[in-house]
Structure 1
Amino acid sequence: MLNFFRTTNRFRPVFLGLATTFISAQTFAQQNKQVQQAGQAMLKATKFMTENVSTNGGYVWYYLPDLSRRWGEMEAYKTMVWIQDGGTVSVGHTLLDAYHVTGEEYYYQAAEKAAAGLIWGQSNEGGWNYMIDFAGDASLKTWYNTIGKNGWRLEEFQHYYGNDTYDDDVSSDAARFLLRMYLEKLDPKYKPALDKAIAFLLKSQYPIGGWPQRYPLRYDFNKAGHPDYTSFYTFNDDVTWENVNFLAQCYMTLGDARLLDAITRGMNFYLISQSGNGAWGQQYNMQLEPVGARTYEPDAYLPKYTYGNAMLLMKFYQYTGDRKYLAHIPDAINWLEKAHLPADKTANGIYTHSTFVDVVTNKPIYVHRKGSNVIYGKYYVDENDQNLLGHYRGKTIVDVQKLKDEYARLSALSVKEATKDSPILPRKFEGNASPQHYYDLNRDAIQSPVNETEVNQIISTLDNKGRWLTKHAMISNPYIGDGTSKEETNAFSGTHVGDKTDTSPYRDTSEQDYISTIQYIKNMNTLIKFIRDKQGK
């Protein structure tokens, strides 16, 4: 049941003519009905997911309707839940958002179940792996030695490290969800796990400010002659930024002064790691040289990361008012302009840059593969932009003009104007309520207006069991053993998956229906935004 007494402007007086007042009342009644229908659909769908699909409060990404098979980024055991975006943590954020706009306690109770599952799976160090297996370490090792080992393109799953990861925002977003759970009602039962997660971020940070991909540090998976990359300073998948961001959110809401040093060193690492030509790689070794990670990620500069890191430097200027964060953005812009692909390589203007640029020659380099499985297949690099990988784009789009415009805009502001919303500078708190209940920590909240036609479609497509069934899920071949084919074929050079032994995910193009946690989250977020807009929040 929606709690309309939480709405601040429902009974705002309207001083209009009689006809207009009548039309407004009629419109209001229609809108009120649609809001009620949206709320009913949300609750029905959530009860199905919580009571029929979840495992100890957690979720993977896709399920067959009879729950006989399930997938996160790879196929999962029935005892597993996934942490990565689209799984348990994303559902937890969505449940809290639903609780905020409806006041329905069921959502908070479901979020508590998700939090309990996450706390169960939190390591002694304080972080998380990609997934939690409630059957324990023996089951997880078996998964890695079979399904994980044979995912050709998913090298992060081919080896059991027994430690935690920052990849794909895994540990930082799980920690953010526990922060939100603690702040929601200041329930002290969440504080120990939250404190342990914060301690994990602090102790895993290198002295110069960067973070490794995994921690505690491991060096035991050298693949195809490549060193174990998980200890490298990592920008890939926003590892450094998400950690800085989470610590800033903790500083805003918990007021812990010791976090400022870690935040500052994290921001400064962007300056330390920028190459003399203005570019960045996505990983760096201990000598601060840009290096590859997975075997299809060569030692290279990356235009996409150069753009993203330059944009973040401008954010750090807004955090601090220190113009050192702006000083070398022109170098990044100049490098991006020089690295622009020639017209005949842009696919008629679709792309602007290659994904990878050689650190020595400053020329585009491209990755390809031969073979059919992880045992005998291989990746290689050259300057040929034909026959590129299907699972990892060889070219990309970078809006250099947007970067230039934002740099010009910020450079023209006074320090006071630029830092007016800084989360870390000393200032009196002027927001509503208290910081614990003021900041929106859900970075994925929908901001754009919601189309009411879309809302009606979402409501109407919920079936009588409470499911939003979808097609074309990312599934995989079932594990049948290691690959045996040694043929250096090109048949799988542009595909997401190799032969039948490859357990990597691929898109199911059939008409098979699936229960999709990702679709549940998407639909819920749209309905939440719709209700929030109607309530005037």
Structure 2
Amino acid sequence: MIARRQLLAASAALMLTPALARAQSPSSAEIAATMKRATRFMVEKLAYRGGYLWSYLPDRSRVWGELEAYKTMVWVQPPGTATMGHLYLDAYHATGDEYYYQASAKAAQALIDGQLPTGGWGYFIDFGGPASTKRWYETIGKNAWRMEEFQHHWGNATFDDQGTGEAIRFLIRLYVEKREARFKRGLDKAINFIFASQLDNGGWPQRWPRVKDGGLHGKPDYTGLITFNDSVINDNIDVLLTYHQAIGDPRVLPAIERAMDVYLKTQQPAPQAGWGLQHRADFSPAGARTYEPEALVTHTTASNIQELMGFYRLTGNAKYLAPIPAALDWLDSVRLPEALWVGNRQFPTFVEIGTNKPLWVHRRGSNVVNGEYYVDHDPAHTIGHYNPRRSVDVSKLRREYEKLRAIPGGPVSKDSPLLKGRQPLSAYWVAAVEPGSDMNVTGGKSAGELVASLNAEGWWPTQLKAISHPYRGPGSKEVAPGDFRSSNVGDSSDTSPFDVKDGPIGISTGTYIDHMVTLIGALRAGS
């Protein structure tokens, strides 16, 4: 693909038609018009009550968030409704066009209308009501074999995948834009939710409030434990920092300090000085989903090292640097033998507590009814949807640590937003669509290509790279023929999304966001 693009670029330099020249170097007016036309489609044709899903067939006969969704749903988990609201505010700042502010306000209203009484959010909002939500969880959610977080309706809010955090940051940003009272109540509820859900030890759980029937597959409920997975704690620190900068609250600084200190409390003793995905109240590592065993976790440990260095920059307090050398030594001690490397993935994801041996996750069966996950010491035939190996640049982390250690606390934290307090927020937030659960995002096009490729209806055609089996009923107790050990999906009853080579053409919210970021950048560059 790269070679073909280079060849096309060379040909264009030799034979450039006037129309192609305009497409490659569109004027600011053409860029602005394209942005507006694409946004009108999203706001007026695609949105449901101001909110968005991730992917749609053009006739809307099937629609998806992370899983197949109902048409009455909007997705909170990025790149969903809150990310769209951020994007609209970026476009508003780039153009001054009130239309984008009002589009952002509609997204905010969707979030507020779907906000749980506690003040947080789930992965999605179903405006079809409780019966519709219950039906979804009992059908599509329950049969998504590898998507265990969707197999049970806890009924509470989640910090997983930054959905609640993204929504709160967006409400902060929108409220300070014009200080409209209509957004203040929802924002206050959300901020109070952050404070109320913080555990006594300083951490945050994956879900809150804790419920009695949260366990799955005979395992204890992990969702109320101290959660580092998907950067839950660090994301909530970032939310509070944003609120501290924009509005201010005397509760913020103590909450942030308690959260930073839980990293110190949960680090395990040397020679296994790492962290797990979750930790119990006694600070010992805990398992989570059935393919997330009780273990020390290399990528979580690397992330926590980075975050501790960030805490030093925020505070100037050397106590946040103190745990790092032992953690780096532990990472070096668990590097896999070269024969087990896959590219630059040289570290096992999971490491057994006590032995330092790699733990490898497998599955058998063909669906959520007859299948199961299990863990052993055999690296063959591991699951494909959760990478068994990780890339960690320990040398780079060491260099960054040594550089920070040489800088005294005062100078390193002199520009800290934690210490500065109230200050204006950035005008532009959406730099890119992060690679993650939404596999249907297409990017990498120039402003000229985007101006030329917006279709007549006002959307950019995107080949969907991930779809799912429609719900056809619960899975069979009999294992279907085939090898599902390393696939993303099981048999035809499995509603988990899976990769396809020749997927249908569809509408992608993430693609729209990516393309708008490119156009906003081009518009700003030409201003």
- TM-score using structure 1 length: 0.89
Pick aligned residue for 1:156 from 149, 154, 163: 149
Are positions 1:303 and 2:290 aligned together? no
Which residue in 2 is equivalent to 1:319? 314
Pick aligned residue for 1:462 from 454, 460, 463: 454
Give the percent of matched residue pairs that are identical in Structure 1 and Structure 2: 46
CA shift for structure 1 position 416: 2.5
CA shift for structure 1 position 33: 4.7
* Distance verdict in 2 for CA 1:418–1:148, change over 3 Å: same
CA contact (8 A) 1:141 1:160 kept: yes
CA shift for structure 1 position 510: 1.9
CA shift for structure 1 position 418: 0.4
Alignment of 1:352-391 (within 5 A): 352-391=346-385
Alignment of 1:161-240 (within 5 A): 161-240=154-233
Distance (Å, rounded) in 2 between the aligned partners of 1:453 and 1:54 = 24
* Distance verdict in 2 for CA 1:122–1:441, change over 3 Å: farther
CA shift for structure 1 position 361: 1.0
* Distance verdict in 2 for CA 1:441–1:319, change over 3 Å: farther
* Distance verdict in 2 for CA 1:137–1:397, change over 3 Å: same
Distance (Å, rounded) in 2 between the aligned partners of 1:161 and 1:219 = 9
Moved over 4 A (4+): 29-33, 443-447
Which residue in 1 is equivalent to 2:389? 395
Stretches of structure 1 that go unaligned for 5 or more consecutive residues are 1-28, 430-434
Q: Deviations over 1:399-427 (max 9, x none)?
A: 11221111111111122320022112257
Pick aligned residue for 1:342 from 328, 337, 341: 337
Pick aligned residue for 2:406 from 383, 402, 412: 412
Distance (Å, rounded) in 1 between the aligned partners of 2:334 and 2:238 = 29
CA contact (8 A) 1:232 1:285 kept: yes
Pick aligned residue for 1:329 from 324, 327, 332: 324
Distance (Å, rounded) in 2 between the aligned partners of 1:282 and 1:150 = 25
CA shift for structure 1 position 488: 8.2
Which residue in 2 is equivalent to 1:294? 289
Q: Deviations over 1:180-225 (max 9, x none)?
A: 1101111122111111101001010011110111111123132233
3-state SS, counterpart of residue 361 of structure 2: strand
Distance (Å, rounded) in 1 between the aligned partners of 2:341 and 2:300 = 19
Distance (Å, rounded) in 1 between the aligned partners of 2:37 and 2:386 = 38
Alignment of 1:79-98 (within 5 A): 79-98=72-91
CA shift for structure 1 position 445: 5.6
* Distance verdict in 2 for CA 1:443–1:271, change over 3 Å: farther
Q: Which amino acid aligns with 2:192?
A: A
Which residue in 2 is equivalent to 1:104? 97
CA contact (8 A) 1:372 1:485 kept: no
Distance (Å, rounded) in 2 between the aligned partners of 1:192 and 1:402 = 45
Aligned residues: 496
Distance (Å, rounded) in 2 between the aligned partners of 1:168 and 1:375 = 26
Which residue in 1 is equivalent to 2:509? 517
CA contact (8 A) 2:23 2:449 kept: no
Q: Deviations over 1:5-57 (max 9, x none)?
A: xxxxxxxxxxxxxxxxxxxxxxxx99995322222111111111111111001
CA shift for structure 1 position 520: 0.5
Alignment of 1:468-487 (within 5 A): 468-487=460-479
Distance (Å, rounded) in 2 between the aligned partners of 1:167 and 1:301 = 20
3-state SS, counterpart of residue 101 of structure 2: helix
CA contact (8 A) 2:90 2:430 kept: no
* Distance verdict in 2 for CA 1:30–1:44, change over 3 Å: closer
Distance (Å, rounded) in 1 between the aligned partners of 2:345 and 2:325 = 22
3-state SS, counterpart of residue 421 of structure 1: coil
CA contact (8 A) 2:90 2:427 kept: no
| Alignment RMSD (CA, Å) | 2.0
Distance (Å, rounded) in 2 between the aligned partners of 1:385 and 1:32 = 51
* Distance verdict in 2 for CA 1:390–1:266, change over 3 Å: same
CA shift for structure 1 position 472: 2.9
Which residue in 1 is equivalent to 2:15? none
Q: Which amino acid aligns with 1:352?
A: Q
CA shift for structure 1 position 443: 6.3
Q: Which amino acid aligns with 1:290?
A: P
